[in-house]
Amino acid sequence: MEPIRFPTQDGVSLEGEIRRPDRTALGSAVVCHAHPRHGGSKDHPILWALRNELASRRFAVLAFNFRGTMRSAGTYAGGHAEVKDVEAAIGRIREEAEGPTLVCGWSFGAAVALREAITDERVAGLALIGLPLEPGDIDIPPIPGPAELRMFRRPALLLAGEGDVYCPRPRLEALGTTLPEAELAIVPGTDHFFWRREKEVAEIVGAFAARLLG
């Protein structure tokens, strides 16, 4: 694991870590964390499981902290300027490997990843875990509208726990009909946090990522 720093387009210095595979990388991946105001950071167990699984699938993986989180500079921006953080992370990890780039996000990170990927042709696939479609009083920007979502004509994995109150299955299924190449995965017997199910979630994402490599 290599600690790094990298700049965003608007001059914010972010901290991150690159996890490289044991053999030559065939693709790259970015991992986006949960809500910074609710304890989210790159160091959550589910994100560790994701980066290890993706590295085992021969992806070079960058996990990073959004602006204003831990040792990343800048200030929290409600999920708006954080789109620039994902954009910069994609550019940085693509320096490590050729091949397709996968962007993964959990919760708040999924919402930001989706907003960034819609217009970024560098993103070959998108894995959205616990996308907050009913965020309640948690400060998360709304997801793009149907017209924008239909623009994303690349593979997308929509993954949620069976009991996820922030990402209820009917809402997720409706979203899946809007994204042209979406596939749905529901993990039974768990909720938004996937407690003790992190490896299982990572394996689902890993299998999706392997399909991107062909």
pLDDT for 13 beyond 80: yes
Q: Which domains does the chain have, with CATH numbers?
A: 2-213 (3.40.50.1820)
Q: Are 97 and 23 in contact (CB under 8 A)?
A: no
pLDDT in tens, 42-60: 999 999 999 999 999 999 9
Contacts of 95 (CB under 8 A, 6+ apart): none
What's the CA gap between 77 and 19, in Å, rounded? 27
For residue 166, give the DSSP letter: S
For residue 202, give both structure tokens. Answer: 């990572």
Mean of the pLDDT values across residues 143-171? 95
What is the tens place of the pLDDT at every residue in 24-39?
999 999 999 999 998 8
What confidence score (pLDDT) does residue 141 get?
81
Q: CA separation (Å) from 168 to 103, 186, 199?
A: 22, 10, 22
The mean per-residue pLDDT over the stretch 187-205 comes to: 97
User: How many Cβ atoms from other residues are within 10 Å of residue 124's Cβ?
Assistant: 19
Whole-angstrom Cα distance, residue 160 to residue 176?
12
Report how far apart the first and last C-alpha atoms of the chain are (Å, whole number): 26
The CA–CA distances, whole Å, from 83 to 8, 17, 80, 116, 148 equal: 10, 19, 6, 5, 16
Confidence of residue 117 (pLDDT cuts 50, 70, 90): very high
pLDDT tens-digit readout, 139-155 = 888 889 999 999 899 99
Per-position DSSP letters for 85-146, written without gaps between them: HHHHHHHHHTTT--S-EEEEEETHHHHHHHHHHTT-TTEEEEEEES--SS-TTS--PPPPPH
Specify the pLDDT at position 193.
95
Q: What is the pTM of this model?
A: 0.96
54: nearest Cα among 208, 182, 186, 214? 208
